[in-house]
Amino acid sequence: LKEIDPDRTAFHFQPSKNWLNDPNGPMYYKGLFHLFYQYNPDGPLWGNMAWGHSVSTDLVNWEALDVALDRTDPFDINGVFSGSVTFVAGEPVILYTGIDDQQRNVQNIAFRKNGSDPLLREWSKSGYNPIMLPVGDIDPDNFRDPTTGWFGQDGHWRTAIGANLEGRAEILLYKSQNFKNWTRNEFPLHKSQSSGMWECPDFFPVSLSSKDGLDPSVNTGNIKHVLKVSLMKTLQDYYLVGKYDEKKDVFVPDEWYKDDYRTWPMIDYGHVYASKSFFDSKNNRRIFWSWVNESDSEADDVKRGWSGMQTFPRAIWLDTDGKQLIQWPIEDIKLLRKQQIQLRDFGLQSGVKHEISGILTSQADVEVEFELPSLEGAESFNNSFLLDPSKLCDEITPSDEGGIGPFGLFVLTSDVEGQEEYTAIYFRIYKSSDRYMTLMCSDLKSSSRREGVYKPAHGAFVGVDISKDKRISLRTLIDHSVVESFVGGGRTCMTMRVYPKHVLTGQTSGLYVFNHGSQEVKIRELNAWEMAKARVNIENDDFISR
Ligand code: DQQ
């Protein structure tokens, strides 16, 4: 009998075994989606970095292929680090960072080997690698993660690379006419004084008038550009919205922007890193993945034989306010929805906890819209809350009796006496002098009785004005050890890793809606679906023969 692995997910991207981190070079090419990822072929901890590779027809079910890029040459013998794919004359080309035989970060290029293999299994590294070296003021330890290339009106390709120059974060811009010989631009695409090294930049245009995604080279029409950076300092992903000046080749963030990362919006206020997007030309959308790390111990990773996963793919576009990004699980997730439970116009009195029963809730997709009969009774807001909402969520608890809220969901719960566990995802409304502020918390303090597990509370003030219609929506994907939440239609996202203990003894997990505020809260509608298990990188299967 195989020992049960309660942390293994049902529909999140993971290799069948070993370590995974950053998503690399996602693309759609001739009927197939490809996802490469930072992978250790030899074990469940970080090391021996290579590019793992999987393919899919629907972005939900994945077939694992052999490692696409491994450490083979002087220019990458110490690691094949992150990178991306660009279509050059219609052909996919990989740009990636190698850790060379002198331990330097260098940039390399690889082409598909066999033009007739639809699965793009083999890649050949060019003989003229490396194509970019850390020379001059570039720190050879901090020069990595080339973006997908884009093509300018002047007939030159561009790519952008994260770098550290005398302690300053810079996204360096390189140009090329032939995608082979690259020259560093006079200016960086963008830079910052105080936020440390920026890894894994992602740079792409977004439409101001539609949810459709855009090809990376589009720079005309009603558009803005987004620069996403991963801060080594905080291990969080942030984004800036602005204009790309193609003449100077610089990104100019919108006026509100200050050079203080604490004021920048985050891709996800939970626990993700090194995100990357691609343009899905099949469905005209931009899709986004992020690495979700483990947050239990290394010994646990070794015991289970794997570590890390990707967020469920999200469509990403710019809100009509032109300021914030919206991220939403791709529609294709509906392929997995099974039995559904629904509540409509359901009053949640103060102090009530109501169970959503009848489906398996350890793999579920839950959408709920709360309505507040009135905003009177909201507690007063203190400006100091703004600086550190996670600290605030750590200090309060979901069982406090508040004014409006706490109300929300308890997920992955156990009610068995002496073994109670619950993860709370909830809201609490505050009133400042001129507006209402909606706090969202994901509180893991009571999520597990397992030892050595990180059980933080994360918080964010959500980018939704509650005073408009007194409604707030929450969507939560629950998948065994990962809980991804989307507030206000995807304006604020929070992903957490949860390791409940009760499932180890075969107990099923519960799901509740609750209200511990002094005012009644109404559920306008709740839909919860049990989710089927996707086929994700199952070993020993022959994709081609099926
Ligand atoms: N992970 C890769 C690097 C990147 C970092 C190495 C971010 O290329 O900068 O595994 O997680």
Looking from the CA of residue 291, the nearest atom of ligand 1 is 11
Please give the pLDDT value at position 546. Answer: 29
Please name every residue paired with 343 in a beta bridge, in sequence order, or none if there are none: 526
**Cα–ligand 1 centroid distance for 23 (angstroms):** 10
Closest CA to 128 of 111, 116, 104: 111
528 Cβ closer than 6 Å to some ligand 1 atom: no
537 Cβ closer than 6 Å to some ligand 1 atom: no
Q: Rounded CA gap, 362 and 508, in Å?
A: 7
Please give the pLDDT value at position 395. Answer: 96
DSSP codes of every residue in 471-537:
EEEEEEEEETTEEEEEETTTTEEEEEE---SGGGGTPPPEEEEEE-BSS-EEEEEEEEEEEPPP-BS
Q: Rounded CA gap, 424 and 244, in Å?
A: 40
What are the tens digits of pLDDT across the range 448-492? 999 989 999 999 999 899 999 999 999 999 999 999 999 999 999
Percent of the chain beyond pLDDT 70? Answer: 98
What are the tens digits of pLDDT across the range 64-105? 999 999 999 999 999 999 999 999 999 999 999 999 999 999
Peptide bond into 23 cis (omega under 30): no
Question: Catalytic: which of 7, 22, 145, 319?
Answer: 22
Please give the pLDDT value at position 541. Answer: 45
Looking from the CA of residue 83, the nearest atom of ligand 1 is 8
Please give the pLDDT value at position 194. Answer: 82
Q: How does strand 123-125 pair with strand 143-144?
A: unpaired
Average pLDDT over residues 139-150: 98
Whether the pLDDT of residue 543 is over 50: the answer is no
Contacts of 136 (CB under 8 A, 6+ apart): none
**Residue 446 token pair:** 């009571």
What are the tens digits of pLDDT across the range 258-285? 999 999 999 999 999 999 999 999 999 9
Please give the pLDDT value at position 140. Answer: 97
Are 10 and 534 in contact, with CB atoms under 8 Å apart? Answer: yes
Contacts of 302 (CB under 8 A, 6+ apart): 43, 44, 45
**Ligand 1: which residue has its CA nearest to atom 10?**
81
Q: Calculate Rg over the CA atoms of the chain.
A: 23
**Residue 282 token pair:** 């099949």
60 Cβ closer than 6 Å to some ligand 1 atom: no
**Cα–ligand 1 centroid distance for 198 (angstroms):** 10
Please give the pLDDT value at position 539. Answer: 75
Looking from the CA of residue 162, the nearest atom of ligand 1 is 9
84 Cβ closer than 6 Å to some ligand 1 atom: no
DSSP letter (8 states) at residue 433: S
Average pLDDT over residues 345-359: 97
- Residue 542 banded pLDDT, cuts 50, 70, 90: very low
Looking from the CA of residue 230, the nearest atom of ligand 1 is 7
**Cα–ligand 1 centroid distance for 22 (angstroms):** 6
Angle at 368 between CA 484 and CA 360, to 5 degrees: 65
Please give the pLDDT value at position 506. Answer: 87
Output 1 or 272, whichever has higher pLDDT. 272
What are the tens digits of pLDDT across the range 221-269? 999 999 999 999 999 999 999 999 999 999 999 999 999 999 999 999 9
Please give the pLDDT value at position 3. Answer: 60
Output the CA–CA distances (angstroms, integers) from residue 291 to 22, 38, 168, 237, 533, in the order listed.
5, 10, 25, 10, 20
492 Cβ closer than 6 Å to some ligand 1 atom: no
56 Cβ closer than 6 Å to some ligand 1 atom: no
Contacts of 365 (CB under 8 A, 6+ apart): 329, 333, 336, 337, 475, 476, 477, 478, 528, 529, 531
82 Cβ closer than 6 Å to some ligand 1 atom: yes
Q: Rounded CA gap, 186 and 196, in Å?
A: 21
Output the CA–CA distances (angstroms, integers) from residue 61 to 53, 146, 486, 543, in the order listed.
13, 28, 22, 12
Helix (H, G, I), strand (E, B) or coil at 348: strand
Are 209 and 171 in contact, with CB atoms under 8 Å apart? Answer: no
22 Cβ closer than 6 Å to some ligand 1 atom: yes
Q: Rounded CA gap, 329 and 345, in Å?
A: 25
Q: What is the chain's mean pLDDT, rounded?
A: 95
**Cα–ligand 1 centroid distance for 529 (angstroms):** 35
76 Cβ closer than 6 Å to some ligand 1 atom: no
Whether the pLDDT of residue 2 is over 80: the answer is no
Average pLDDT over residues 528-537: 97
Please give the pLDDT value at position 540. Answer: 55
Whether the pLDDT of residue 544 is over 60: the answer is no
Q: Rounded CA gap, 191 and 250, in Å?
A: 10
Angle at 340 between CA 363 and CA 16, to 5 degrees: 25
Q: Rounded CA gap, 206 and 241, in Å?
A: 9
Please give the pLDDT value at position 114. Answer: 86
Q: Rounded CA gap, 534 and 306, in Å?
A: 18
Closest CA to 457 of 417, 408, 519, 503: 408
**Domains located in the chain, CATH noted:** 18-329 (2.115.10.20), 337-531 (2.60.120.560)
Output 119 or 545, whichever has higher pLDDT. 119
Looking from the CA of residue 82, the nearest atom of ligand 1 is 8
**Cα–ligand 1 centroid distance for 273 (angstroms):** 10
For every residue of 141-178, which 3-state class applies, written as one string? CCEECCCCCEECCCCCEEEEEEEEECCEEEEEEEEECC
- Size of the chain in residues: 546
Q: Rounded CA gap, 130 and 83, in Å?
A: 14
Task: Please determine, for the modelled complex, whether the ipTM score is greater than 0.90.
Answer: yes
DSSP codes of every residue in 365-404:
EEEEEEE-S--TTPEEP-THHHH-HHHHHHHS-TTS-BSE
Percent of the chain beyond pLDDT 90? Answer: 93
Q: Is residue 479 annotated as part of the catalytic site, yes or no?
A: no
